[in-house]
């Protein structure tokens, strides 16, 4: 390679059949995904789903058991200019408590031949200039996150990875991270952010990769994900339950009886009300119910648990 | 962010700095300088190494000059270094394990994915620092201690074995620092690494002398705590040990073996 291809990486994260096992436990199960530039990609999954392990493999900290992952066109282990290629926040307290923020950023800069002037720039960017000479051990969790983000950006990298960046941040800090992620993506960078909070990701990410039990459950735009998973229905209660159900079914609507209520999909509440009124059927309740994204996410990952245990049983049978 | 936008554009067109060993070395030097533990341990090295030598020479000068003395004054001129070696162990171990204790090691290896370079840079810096400070400490101890020996007419000139013991003290401290880095890398835990290294150098190295016969003598000569010290003393307290340079060669070989194991473990294990 000559030096020209250092800056001209593909700006993507590409995982192919990426697998990590710890003893018998499969933490990451042969996953394939591509994280693209110019947008914020959310990496969403419950705790223990394999998010952090995947991120550690991207950065060459954990070696994959099988498969591979490249970032900006390289396996990170062979990157000619690691921090200029990818910057990461992995752990809010990945610094020595006795060292100042400024010194922490100074050694990071030096390790990749980044001019020391960049230290002041990233300190300003994350708003830590005034406390930059304090020992980092005295920082709050939020200040630690800001230092971690400064460290991730020190090499001005085309790929930025943030593991649970809003943990421990106050609402102002969360807004700040959201705006920063947006700006980084708008600058054409690849932004890969993990979270176990669906609602947070829905606000921050353009694209979602959902992982559960080490497998990819969804890889689609946030918009499509919401359309596919955040269902809404109208709850209808009527003393003439059977007649109402017949009428709505006959009108081509999707009707499900739940307790003494009917859950109706396919028409909005006012239209359903009009329909019942037309047939003079009594109506006691008519409510639009939106199931939250969080619910959709829980359903999705809960399904993966069932699916996984079936697969496990089949595999065990085949092995025996 | 205007600066960021600007540099991204630049990054894709211009040649970017390629990471080299010099970068890693300067990063590790900033790390070493920017924690207080480094300066405390080096101050303790000078204080214990030079201070105890002076005190011991002052307290023993008249006995050493008397007819009933059965030790050479040369055995006392670097006496403090035998205690100061603890500080070299602490410095070497902390250079590695403080990163594991805080999780900072992941930032280090993300910034320098070729992990062997990190180990090499830490080793070079800690060994150089300990060599210089160790030699200076021995010299301060010599000038202070020899003042009292001179008063009794048994002073030793700064030449031959005495001179060798000065830079030999530096070599011993540097070697201990490397041994500690290797053990710290293998164990990744501060307390465990310090305990085992000090136990190996102080306790086990002395206890094997109790084993009778040829095996006992062999072990006594090759244990790092014994083999390493000979070069740091003008006249050894222990007549069983080999000469200075053969002993040091054994010590160096042991360091090389442990360092190789450490380098292999570092590359293979997940950080």
Q: Tell me the per-residue pLDDT of A185-239, one tens digit each, with 9 for 90 and over.
A: 999 999 999 998 888 898 899 999 999 999 999 999 998 888 887 778 899 999 9
pLDDT in tens, B51-104: 999 999 999 999 999 999 988 999 999 999 999 999 999 999 999 999 998 889
Together in a domain, A199 and A152 = yes
3-class SS of residue A238 = coil
Query: Do the domain assignments include residue A306?
Result: no
Q: What pLDDT does B202 receive?
A: 85
The yes-or-no verdict on residue A308 having pLDDT over 80 is no
Which of 68-97 (A) contact B at CB < 8 A? 76-84, 86, 88, 90-91, 93-97
Same domain membership, residue A82 and residue A171:
yes
The answer to the question of residue A279 being in a domain is yes
* Same domain assignment for residues A220 and A238: no
Same domain (yes/no): A157, A284: no
Inter-chain CB proximity A7 and B18 less than 8 Å: no
Question: What does the DSSP 8-state code read for residue B18?
Answer: P
Among B5-14, B38-47, B162-171, where is mean pLDDT lowest?
Answer: B5-14
- Subunit contact B111:A63, Cβ cutoff 8 A: no
Residues of A within 8 A of B30 (CB-CB) are 103, 106-107, 110
Same-domain pairing of A71 and A189: yes
B153: left (phi over 0), alpha (psi -120 to 50) or beta: left
d(CA A13, CA B181): 35
Q: What is the mean pLDDT of residues A45-56?
A: 92
pLDDT(A96) > 80:
yes
Q: Which residues of B touch A121 (CB under 8 A)?
A: 3
Mean pLDDT (chain A) is 88
Report CB contact under 8 Å: A91, B103. yes
Structure tokens at A87: 């910057």
A120-134, B14-28, B56-70, B112-126 — which is least confidently predicted? B14-28
So what's the pLDDT on residue B5? Answer: 39
pLDDT at site A306: 44
Q: Give the end of a domain, one of A228, A252, A275.
A: A228
Would A133 be classed as within a structural domain?
yes
pLDDT value, residue B156: 95
* Residue A301 belongs to some domain of the structure: no
Rounded mean pLDDT of chain B?
92
Is position B222 within any domain?
Answer: yes
Task: Give the full edge-to-edge strand order of the sheet including A261-265.
Answer: A254-258, A261-265, A232-237, A285-290
- Whether residue A113 sits in one domain with residue A178: yes
Verify that A138 and A282 share a domain, yes or no: no
Confidence at residue A283, expressed as pLDDT on a 0 to 100 scale: 93
Give the model's pLDDT for residue A39.
97
Residues 181-200 of A with CB under 8 A from B: 183-184, 187-189
Could you say which of A184, A203, A228 is where a domain stops? A228
Question: For residue A134, what are the domain limits?
Answer: 4-228
- Provide the pLDDT for residue B3: 41
Averaged pLDDT, A270-295 = 87
pLDDT digits over A144-198, tens only? 999 999 999 999 999 999 999 998 889 999 999 999 999 999 999 999 999 988 8
pLDDT at A83: 97
Q: pLDDT above 90 covers what percent of chain A?
A: 66
Ramachandran sector of residue A38 (left: φ over 0; alpha: ψ -120 to 50; beta: rest): left
B9 part of a folded domain? no
B270 contacts A61? CB cut-off 8 A: yes
The answer to whether position B118 is within a domain reads yes
Q: How confident is the model at residue A303 (pLDDT cuts 50, 70, 90)?
A: low
A198 and A248 housed in the same domain: no
Residue B14 domain flag? no
Instruction: Give the B-side interface with A, CB within 8 Å.
Output: 1, 3-5, 7-8, 10-20, 23-24, 26-28, 30-31, 34-37, 98-99, 102-104, 106-114, 268, 270-271
If contacts are CB pairs under 8 Å, which of residues 143-182 in chain A contact chain B?
A: 151, 153, 156, 158
Residue predicted with more confidence, A320 or B23: B23
What is the domain range of residue B72? 21-268
| Residue A266 pLDDT | 81
Domain membership flag for residue B147:
yes
B103-128 mean pLDDT: 97
The answer to whether the Cβ–Cβ distance between B19 and A151 falls below 8 Å is no
Across the A/B interface, how many CB contacts are shorter than 8 Å?
144
The answer to whether residue B188 is domain-embedded is: yes
A contact test, residue of B111, B115, B118, B188 with most A CBs within 10 A: B111
Q: Among the residues of chain B, which ranges form H helices?
A: 2-13, 21-33, 36-65, 81-102, 104-111, 115-151, 160-187, 190-198, 205-207, 213-222, 224-227, 244-268
Phi, psi of A192, deg, nearest 5: -120, 110
Name the residue with higher pLDDT: A229 or A10: A10
Tell me, yes or no, whether B6 lies in a domain: no
Of these ranges, A24-33, A239-248, B232-241, the one predicted with the greatest mean pLDDT is: A24-33
Which distant-in-sequence residues (6+ apart) come within 8 Å of B110 by Cβ? A59, A60, A61, A76, A82, A83, A86, A88, A90
B186 in any annotated domain: yes
Residues of A in contact with B16 (CB under 8 A): 3, 6-7, 80-81, 84
Q: Is it the case that residue B22 has pLDDT exceeding 80?
A: yes
Instruction: Quote the pLDDT of residue B15.
Output: 63
pTM, rounded to two decimals: 0.86
Question: Does residue A309 fall inside a structural domain?
Answer: no
> Quick one: A68 and A8 in the same domain?
yes
B144-149 average pLDDT score = 97
Q: Work out the average pLDDT over B235-246.
A: 90
Contacts with B38 from chain A: Cβ below 8 Å: none
Q: Is B66 left (phi over 0), alpha (psi -120 to 50) or beta?
A: beta
pLDDT at residue number A297? 81
Helix (H, G, I), strand (E, B), or coil: what is residue A89? strand
Give the end-to-end CA distance of chain A in Å, rounded to a whole number. Answer: 48
Asked if residue A163 lies in contact with residue A55, where contact means CB atoms within 8 angstroms, the answer is yes
Do both A69 and A203 map to the same domain? yes
Interface test with B, best of A75, A111, A125, A159 (most B CBs within 10 A): A111
**One domain for residues A60 and A48:** yes
Q: CB atoms < 10 A from the CB of B59, how many? A: 12
Q: Is A319 part of any domain?
A: no
Higher-pLDDT residue of A320 and A96 is A96
Domain count of chain A?
2
Whether residues B102 and A94 touch (CB distance < 8 A) is answered with yes
Q: How many domains, chain B?
A: 1
Tell me how close the Cα of B99 comes to any Cα of chain A, in angstroms: 7
Q: Is the pLDDT of residue B6 over 50?
A: no
- Boundary (domain end) residue, out of A184, A205, A228: A228
Using CB atoms, pick whichever of B3, B5, B106 lies closest to residue A90: B106
Which of A206-220, A248-262, B37-51, B253-267 has the weakest average pLDDT? A248-262
The domain that holds A124 is classified in CATH as 3.40.50.300
Provide the total of helices (H) and of strands (E) in chain A, helices listed first.
Answer: 12, 13
A274 and A209, same domain (yes or no): no
Question: Is A308 inside any structural domain?
Answer: no
Whole-number Å distance between alpha carbons of A306 and B130: 59
Q: Which of B1, B26, B113 sits opposite A79 (nearest CB)?
A: B113
From the CA of A170, how many Å to the nearest CA of chain B? 23
Q: Is the pLDDT of residue A64 over 60?
A: yes
Shortest CA gap B138–chain A (Å): 30
Q: By mean pLDDT, which of A55-64, A181-190, B4-13, B203-212 is the weakest? A: B4-13
Q: What's the pLDDT at A48? A: 87
Q: Which of B7, B10, B19 sits opposite A113 (nearest CB)?
A: B19
Q: How far is CA A259 from CA A247, A266, A291, in A?
A: 18, 20, 18
Q: What percent of chain A has pLDDT over 70?
A: 92
Least confident of A263-272, B112-121, B136-145, B165-174: A263-272
């Amino acid at each position: 390679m000559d030096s020209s291809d250092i800056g001209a990486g593909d700006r993507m994260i590409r995982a192919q059949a990426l697998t990590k096992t710890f003893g018998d436990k499969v933490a990451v199960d042969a996953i394939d995904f591509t994280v693209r530039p110019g947008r914020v990609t959310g990496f969403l999954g419950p705790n223990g789903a394999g998010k952090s392990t995947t991120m550690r493999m991207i950065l060459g900290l954990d070696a994959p058991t099988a498969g591979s992952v490249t970032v900006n066109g390289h396996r990170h282990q062979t990157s000619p200019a690691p921090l200029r290629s990818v910057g990461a926040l992995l752990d809010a307290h990945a610094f020595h408590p006795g060292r100042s923020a400024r010194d922490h950023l100074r050694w990071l800069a030096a390790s990749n031949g980044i001019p020391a002037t960049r230290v002041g720039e990233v300190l300003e960017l994350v708003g830590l200039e005034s406390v930059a000479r304090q020992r980092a051990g005295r920082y709050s969790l939020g200040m630690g996150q800001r230092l971690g983000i400064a460290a991730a950006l020190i090499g001005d990298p085309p790929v930025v990875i943030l593991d649970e960046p809003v943990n421990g941040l106050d609402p102002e800090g969360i807004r700040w991270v959201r705006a920063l992620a947006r700006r980084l993506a708008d600058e054409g960078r690849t932004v890969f952010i993990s979270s176990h909070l669906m609602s947070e990701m829905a606000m921050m990410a353009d694209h979602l990769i959902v992982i559960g039990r080490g497998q990819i459950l969804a890889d689609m735009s946030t918009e499509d994900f919401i359309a596919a998973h955040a269902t809404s229905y109208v709850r209808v209660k009527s003393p003439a339950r059977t007649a109402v159900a017949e009428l709505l079914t006959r009108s081509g609507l999707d009707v499900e009886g739940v307790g003494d209520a009917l859950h109706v999909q396919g028409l909005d509440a006012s239209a359903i009300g009009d329909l019942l009124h037309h047939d003079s059927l009594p109506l006691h309740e008519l409510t639009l119910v939106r199931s939250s994204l969080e619910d959709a996410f829980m359903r999705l990952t809960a399904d993966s648990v069932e699916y996984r245990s079936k697969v496990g049983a089949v595999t065990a049978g085949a092995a025996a | 962010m205007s600066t960021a936008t600007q540099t991204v554009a630049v990054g894709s067109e211009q040649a970017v700095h390629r990471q080299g060993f010099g970068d890693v070395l300067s990063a590790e030097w900033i790390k070493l300088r920017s924690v207080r533990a480094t300066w405390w341990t080096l101050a303790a090295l000078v204080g214990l190494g030079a201070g105890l030598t002076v005190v011991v020479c002052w307290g023993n000068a008249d006995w050493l000059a008397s007819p009933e003395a059965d030790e050479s004054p040369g055995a006392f001129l670097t006496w403090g270094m035998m205690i100061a070696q603890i500080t070299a162990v602490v410095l070497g171990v902390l250079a590695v394990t403080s990163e594991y204790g805080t999780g900072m090691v992941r930032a280090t290896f993300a910034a320098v994915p070729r992990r062997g370079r990190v180990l090499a840079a830490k080793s070079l810096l800690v060994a150089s620092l300990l060599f210089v400070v160790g030699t200076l400490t021995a010299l301060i101890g010599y000038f202070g201690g020899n003042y009292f020996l001179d008063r009794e007419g048994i002073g030793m000139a700064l030449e031959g074995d005495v001179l060798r013991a000065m830079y030999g003290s530096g070599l011993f401290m540097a070697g201990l620092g490397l041994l500690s880095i290797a053990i710290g890398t293998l164990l990744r835990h501060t307390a465990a690494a310090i305990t085992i290294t000090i136990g190996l150098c102080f306790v086990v190295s002395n206890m094997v002398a109790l084993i009778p016969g040829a095996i006992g003598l062999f072990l006594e000569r090759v244990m790092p705590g014994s083999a390493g010290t000979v070069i740091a003393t003008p006249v050894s307290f222990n007549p069983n040990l080999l000469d200075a340079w053969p002993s040091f060669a054994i010590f160096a070989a042991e360091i090389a073996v442990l360092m190789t194991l450490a380098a292999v473990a570092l590359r293979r294990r997940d950080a």
